[in-house]
């Protein structure tokens, strides 16, 4: 790469410059030309002569001198017109023109300056003043030449950077936002503070007709914040197309970003999944502002505050895949946004804020276009044209048909024509670092299990595993969660006890047996704890224990067994046959 000048030469550099000046002497008197030739040659400078204005212009074209000594009164073309022509030919290059004249009235001197002259010398010339003026203008000439060279180098450098940025911007745009504008019921507004955006929006329609959306915000701005967007987009897209759950996507992104990002950088994100029938939204929120659900009538339907830390911070064994589920109606709108919107300030330094955002979204007007109304409200509120931070707003209309499924007729088919079994023996070190439930749940989702049944099985696994780990291995009691403070203390105790535990195990076994067109799923969870009274599990409101929600199991499982000797809880769940769609002619 061509080096760019970073400093300017000093005056001593010019005085020590060994390159002699080339001076064009223009005078219609031969004696005057001869005198100037003698004086200039004595200093080692190169001299070019011209007898009138026409000849001066031609000599300038031919030799491109450094300085011009110009007579004023000459036949044909006078010094004024010759100077105008020379200055035009010089263009952006600074070529000093010094008028050598007997004129001394103000009007004549003003004309010399008006036509482009830079200085004056009176005839007859004083050689001391002549040398001083030429040396000074020589320094200025060299200085401007260096400035010109530096500016040209900077211009080439700037053009190269602009070209590289333009290419990178096209790559980012093509990679990070493919087809977002074509998604029905989906609108996005992105306003970066610089050429590159630290915010990222991704959306994938799965082969089951669900919409999975990622909105994230990297620490900082510009290219440094944007570079992480490509691996995030690649991981999210890959996992979404494999129908991986929202919590598992968050886990995988967190693990990858912890390996990629520097310690001072993290990625706040919301990951949401809208199911195909438009009735349910599952959301994982890590460090992002709370999304708002607005009903068609303009009411605030729900606010979902972040329950997790941003991605790239928490180690795998402490990561929480906890999600929130919203039951929505067609026509409801979910608004996701980055903190750049609520942190935008006006001229008084006041922030736009969450309250103003909700007020804009819920106010009544004839257009019902809350998306553009919010963008315009923030624009009018801001004290400047460019935002303080990258700002992103996403509007998603619930109940939208995301894909374009063919017309079909439903037929039953056998999901699993063969039996299979999965066993996970987890010791205390596994329990401190592993996430077995999402692993098992993702396998079931990839084995052609109906989406609704896969969700139910995931809940069963979560409750059984949590009970064995928390109450069996760690000895925690659920009655600690009776109030808000106790709830926080419970999970703090869970974290500490798991960290300090030196022994214990949980064994998970999942076995499938085909039955007709469906099958029977047997789930067994064994732990190293002291066991519990199975009658409490069957009670409606057991006192002292809630067993982490296990009371709901009898309502969805065909059979529940507990072996006190082996401390094994086992349930049987009946898998209904899948519905296979066949395209109608």
* DSSP letter (8 states) at residue 470: I
Q: What is the pLDDT of residue 153?
A: 84
Helices vs strands, H then E, count in the chain:
18, 22
Q: For residue range 306-323, list pLDDT tens digits in order.
A: 888 899 888 888 888 888
| Peptide linkage before 124 cis (omega within 30 of 0) | yes
Confirm if 176 and 235 have CB atoms less than 8 A apart. no
The mean predicted confidence, pLDDT, of the chain is: 79
Closest by CA to 212, choosing from 272, 165, 293, is 272
Distance, CA of 452 to CA of 445 (rounded, Å): 10
DSSP 330: T
What would the DSSP string read from start to end of 35-50? HHHHHHHHTT-EEEEE
* pLDDT, position 54: 93
Average pLDDT per block of 10 residues along the chain, 585 residues long: 40 49 91 90 91 92 92 89 91 88 78 86 85 88 85 81 60 56 83 65 86 86 64 84 87 87 84 85 91 90 85 88 86 90 85 90 80 88 65 89 53 60 90 79 66 73 84 78 61 85 92 80 90 56 43 73 88 70 37
Question: Would you state the pLDDT for residue 260?
Answer: 80
For residues 381 and 169, the answer to whether their CB atoms sit within 8 Å is: no
Query: Tell me, what's the pLDDT at 555?
Result: 64
- For residue 585, the model assigns a pLDDT of 33
Q: What is the pTM of this model?
A: 0.50
Q: Exposed, middle or buried by CB within 10 Å (0-12, 13-18, 19+), for 150? A: middle
Residues 6+ positions from 272 with CB-CB distance below 8 Å:
212, 213, 246, 281, 282, 283, 284, 291, 334, 336, 396
CA–CA distances in Å: residue 211 to residues 118, 121, 499, 541, 545: 72, 82, 37, 38, 39
pLDDT digits (tens, 9 = 90+) for 247-290: 889 998 998 888 887 777 888 999 999 988 777 899 999 989 99
- Residue pLDDT, tens place only, 486-543: 666 777 888 889 889 999 999 999 998 887 767 888 999 999 988 765 555 554 443 3
Tens of pLDDT, residue by residue over 158-174, are 777 666 556 555 555 55
pLDDT of res. 541: 41
Q: Long-range pairs for 8-11 at CB < 8 Å and ≥24 separation?
A: 8/143, 8/146, 8/147, 8/150, 9/142, 9/143, 9/146, 11/139
8 A C-beta contact, residue 272 and residue 212: yes
């Amino acid at each position: 790469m061509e080096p760019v000048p970073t400093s300017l030469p000093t005056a001593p550099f010019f005085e020590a410059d060994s390159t002699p000046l080339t001076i064009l002497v223009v005078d219609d008197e031969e004696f005057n030309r001869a005198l100037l030739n003698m004086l200039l040659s004595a200093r080692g400078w190169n001299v070019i002569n011209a007898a009138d204005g026409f000849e001066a212009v031609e000599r300038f074209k031919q030799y491109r001198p450094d300085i011009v000594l110009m007579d004023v009164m000459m036949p044909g073309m006078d010094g004024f017109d010759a100077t105008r022509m020379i200055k035009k030919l010089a263009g952006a290059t600074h070529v000093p023109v010094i008028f050598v004249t007997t004129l001394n009235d103000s009007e004549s001197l003003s004309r010399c300056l008006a036509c482009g002259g830079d200085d004056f010398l009176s005839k007859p010339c004083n050689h001391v003043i002549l040398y001083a003026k030429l040396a000074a203008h020589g320094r200025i000439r060299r200085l401007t030449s260096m400035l010109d060279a530096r500016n040209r180098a900077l211009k080439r450098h700037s053009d190269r950077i602009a070209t590289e940025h333009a290419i990178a911007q096209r790559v980012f745009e093509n990679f990070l936002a493919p087809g977002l504008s074509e998604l029905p019921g989906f609108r996005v507004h992105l306003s970066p503070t610089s050429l590159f955006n630290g915010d990222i929006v991704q959306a994938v329609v799965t082969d089951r007709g669900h919409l999975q959306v990622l909105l994230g915000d990297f620490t900082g701005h510009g290219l440094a914040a944007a570079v992480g967007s490509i691996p995030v987009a690649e991981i999210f897209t890959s996992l979404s197309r494999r129908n991986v759950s929202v919590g598992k996507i968050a886990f995988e992104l967190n693990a990858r970003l912890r390996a990629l990002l520097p310690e001072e950088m993290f990625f706040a994100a919301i990951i949401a999944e809208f199911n195909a029938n438009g009735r349910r939204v599952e959301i994982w929120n890590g460090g992002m502002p709370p999304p708002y659900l607005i009903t068609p009538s303009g009411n605030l339907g729900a606010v979902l505050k972040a329950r997790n830390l941003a991605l790239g911070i928490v180690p795998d064994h402490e990561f929480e895949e906890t999600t929130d589920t919203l039951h929505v109606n067609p026509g409801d709108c979910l608004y996701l946004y980055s903190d750049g919107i609520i942190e935008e300030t006006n001229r008084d330094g006041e922030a736009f804020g969450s309250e103003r955002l909700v007020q804009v979204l819920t106010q009544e007007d004839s257009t019902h276009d809350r998306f553009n109304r919010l963008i315009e409200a923030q624009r009018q509120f801001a004290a400047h044209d460019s935002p303080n931070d990258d700002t992103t707003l996403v509007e998603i209309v619930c109940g939208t048909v995301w894909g374009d499924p063919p017309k079909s007729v439903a037929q039953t088919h056998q999901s699993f024509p063969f039996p299979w079994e999965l066993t996970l023996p987890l010791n205390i070190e596994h329990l401190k670092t592993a996430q077995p439930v999402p692993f098992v749940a993702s396998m079931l989702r990839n084995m052609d299990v109906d989406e609704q049944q896969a969700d139910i099985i995931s809940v069963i696994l979560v409750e059984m595993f949590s009970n064995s780990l928390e109450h069996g291995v760690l000895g925690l009691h659920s009655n600690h969660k009776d109030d808000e403070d106790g709830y926080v203390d419970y999970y703090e105790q869970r974290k500490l006890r798991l960290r300090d535990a030196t022994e214990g195990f949980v064994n998970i076994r999942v076995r499938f047996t085909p039955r007709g067109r469906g099958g029977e799923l047997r789930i067994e969870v064994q732990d190293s704890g002291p066991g519990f009274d199975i009658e409490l599990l069957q009670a409606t409101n057991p006192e002292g224990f809630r067993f982490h929600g296990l009371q709901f199991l009898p309502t969805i499982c065909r059979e529940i067994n507990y072996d006190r000797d082996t401390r094994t809880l086992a349930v049987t769940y009946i898998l209904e046959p899948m519905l296979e769609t066949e395209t109608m002619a």
